[in-house]
């Protein structure tokens, strides 16, 4: 290969502070490549490389691995490597934009994965919904559940967040996405210790806090229960809310509770007059779309199928509006705890077991806010042609 860009993706196989991961991976890549004199001239630009980029920390616990050739993902291994972190100079940024490449970071929250884009210099997303669909394709693109843009704040907030789902639709908010958003900001700004941010979203103001243990706690605000505001056309059966109401789906009557966490959720603990739901036995690909596109949900809906393990432990599978079956859904985890409390099935603080891992959810009685705590992890940095 003789091009300036080589296709390398480096994954880190041990636990280190995420704020140094990109620079460490970059230095490792360059040091590895530089060790082969026969190929180094093809790997890098001709202008001198700072010696500091070759200085690797002497940490025996660190190990990096080069992934196989991936034709659609190009990690930028050049002396202008800080541009991968979104801190490129104006000249570098202009060059890169002229080349038609989108620089991104891929993060995941319990397997719910996102392409994170540093869009802080514009209120217009760098990619279109159609391009987002291609980027999210797991066979011909980067692969993700959505593309998230870090944008300038409005109305006094620190930042704004917009999301394109893998089908090109735009949701109001995403719980796992907001945790990834917070970690990405901390990485971009090289922030240390516990940090909070105010984020403007389609669901209103959200305040995530990056903890010292690398988890992120998010004040998700108050749940909305009024049927028309969720929105749902299911007739309200308790104080303008839909709680344990009946919904006919594909010839079967399900008991559902409808909650908005800034986006609509339909929560069910099972069908009427059936045994307790065993979520692992669900044919989610069959039943999920029937709920999402049901006529009773004018804006479509996210659907959570819940199994009660104990009064402090819930297990769920989710069919997300615009994304389908995913490994985790943060707003969905919040919604099921609210629904479970309203139906008398659990306490206000629960561990929620999702296919991708555990989230801690608490619906506090003192302020009526729902708080979510969980991980958000960097997968890799890269660059992709648009």
* Gyration radius (Cα) of the chain, Å: 22
The C-alpha atoms of residue 146 and residue 115 are separated, in whole angstroms, by 6
Where b means 16+ CB within 10 Å and e means fewer, 24-48 reads bbbbbbbebbeeeeeeeeebbeeee
Beta bridge partners of 259: 265
Reading the block at residue 373, the tokens are: 């705590």
Six token digits for residue 145: 């559940």
Whether omega for the bond prior to residue 10 falls within 30 degrees of 0, making it cis, is no
Interhelix angle 330-342/175-188, nearest 10 degrees: 140
Within 190-324, where are the H helices? 284-292
Q: Which of 136, 180, 258, 329 is catalytic?
A: 329
In whole angstroms, give the CA distance from residue 147 to residue 56: 32
Structural contact between residues 259 and 333, judged by C-beta atoms closer than 8 angstroms: no
Q: What is the DSSP letter of 368?
A: -
Q: Would you call 174 a catalytic residue per the annotation?
A: yes
| 3-state SS, residue 135 | helix
The pairing of strands 199-201 and 159-165 is parallel
- How many CA atoms, within 13 angstroms, populate the side-chain half-sphere of residue 363? 21
Would you say 371 and 361 are in contact if contact means Cβ atoms under 8 Å apart?
yes
Q: Please say if 99 is a catalytic residue.
A: no
Nearest to 127 by CA among 108, 110, 114: 114
Name residues whose C-beta falls within 8 Å of residue 310's C-beta, 6 or more positions apart in sequence: none
Task: Mention every residue, 6+ apart, whose C-beta is less than 8 A from residue 90.
Answer: none
CB-side neighbour CA atoms (13 Å) of 347: 11
Residue with the two structure tokens 């801190």: 87
Mention every residue, 6+ apart, whose C-beta is less than 8 A from residue 83.
Answer: 76, 92, 93, 96, 103
Among 174, 180, 266, 350, the active-site one is 174
Q: Annotated active-site positions, please?
A: 174, 329
């Amino acid at each position: 290969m003789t091009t300036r860009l080589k296709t390398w993706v480096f994954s880190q196989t041990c636990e280190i502070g995420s704020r140094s991961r990109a620079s460490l991976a970059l230095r490792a890549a360059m040091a590895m490549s530089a060790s082969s004199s026969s190929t180094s001239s093809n790997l890098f630009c001709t202008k001198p490389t700072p010696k500091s980029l070759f200085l690797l920390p002497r940490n025996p616990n660190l190990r990096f691995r080069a992934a196989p050739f991936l034709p659609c993902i190009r990690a930028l291994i050049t002396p202008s490597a800080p541009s991968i972190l979104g801190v490129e100079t104006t000249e570098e940024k202009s060059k890169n934009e002229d080349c038609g490449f989108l620089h991104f970071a891929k993060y995941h929250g319990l397997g719910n994965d996102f392409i994170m884009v540093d869009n802080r210099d514009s209120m217009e997303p760098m990619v279109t919904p159609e391009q987002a669909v291609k980027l999210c394709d797991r066979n011909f693109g980067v692969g993700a559940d959505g593309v998230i843009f870090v944008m300038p704040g409005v109305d006094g907030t620190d930042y704004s967040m917009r999301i394109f789902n893998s089908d090109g639709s735009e949701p109001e908010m995403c719980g796992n996405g907001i945790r990834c958003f917070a970690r990405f900001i901390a990485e971009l700004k090289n922030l240390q210790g516990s940090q909070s941010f105010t984020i403007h979203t389609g669901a209103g103001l959200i305040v995530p806090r990056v903890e010292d243990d690398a988890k992120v706690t998010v004040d998700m605000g108050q749940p909305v229960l009024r049927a028309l505001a969720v929105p749902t056309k299911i007739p309200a059966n308790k104080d303008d809310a839909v709680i344990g109401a009946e919904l006919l789906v594909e010839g079967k009557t399900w008991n559902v509770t409808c909650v908005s966490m800034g986006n609509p959720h339909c929560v069910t603990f099972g069908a009427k007059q059936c045994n307790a739901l065993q979520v692992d036995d669900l044919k989610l690909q069959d039943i999920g779309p029937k709920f999402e596109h049901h006529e009773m949900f004018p804006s479509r809906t996210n659907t959570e199928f819940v199994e009660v393990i104990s009064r402090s432990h819930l297990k769920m599978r989710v069919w997300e509006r615009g994304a389908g079956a995913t490994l985790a859904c943060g707003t969905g985890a919040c919604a099921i705890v609210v629904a479970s409390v309203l139906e008398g099935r659990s306490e206000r603080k629960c561990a929620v077991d999702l296919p991708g891992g555990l989230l801690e959810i608490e619906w506090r009685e003192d302020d009526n806010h729902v708080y979510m705590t969980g991980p958000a992890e960097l997968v890799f940095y890269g660059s992709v042609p648009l």
